[in-house]
Amino acid sequence: MAVSPVTDKDPLSLDVPREFHRRMAAIIDAVQGGIWEAGVHDLLGYATDFAFGQQRGMQTLVLKSRNRSAYVRLNWVTVMGDTEGDRQAVDSAIKSAIRELT
């Protein structure tokens, strides 16, 4: 399984959590843009429930508009991965969140 070069670094390196948060922010941004384009002009609220490192498994991002909420649940390896399958899983989770929020 191919993962991002940053995940091969020492897990205590600041680069690892920075990359994780960058990727989670990209998911939030994609969902925000998707709901806005669909006519839902709400600012997303969000919260995360995650554990550090690939041994921790499932990562949860809770997204909320004024009237709806959606959960994006992805494995740490998927969030941090760079394979086509990882990208497809993230894209699918984004599309599902957009559907739930519109």
Asked if the structure places residue 7 within a domain, the reply is no
Cα distances (Å, whole numbers) of residue 25 to 10, 16, 39, 72, 79: 22, 14, 21, 12, 11
In a domain, 82, yes or no: yes
Q: Residue written as tokens 């690892």? A: 16
Structural domain includes residue 61: yes
Instruction: Please state the pTM of the whole predicted model.
Output: 0.85
For 24-34, the pLDDT digits (tens) are 999 999 999 99
For residue 28, is it left (φ>0), alpha (ψ between -120 and 50) or beta?
alpha
Supply 83's token pair.
């394979």
Number of domains in the chain: 1
Residue 60 lies in a domain: yes
What CATH number does residue 74 fall under?
3.30.160
Distances (CA, A) of 65 to 34, 43, 54, 79, 91: 12, 7, 29, 23, 20
What is the per-residue pLDDT across 34-64, written as a single tens digit (0 to 9) for each?
A: 999 999 999 999 998 876 655 568 899 999 9
| pLDDT at site 35 | 98
Query: Which residue segment(s) compose the domain that 28 sits in?
Result: 13-101
Q: Is residue 29 part of a domain?
A: yes
Residue pair 48/59 in contact (Cβ under 8 Å)? The answer is yes
Query: Is 1 contained in some domain?
Result: no
Residue 97 covered by a domain:
yes
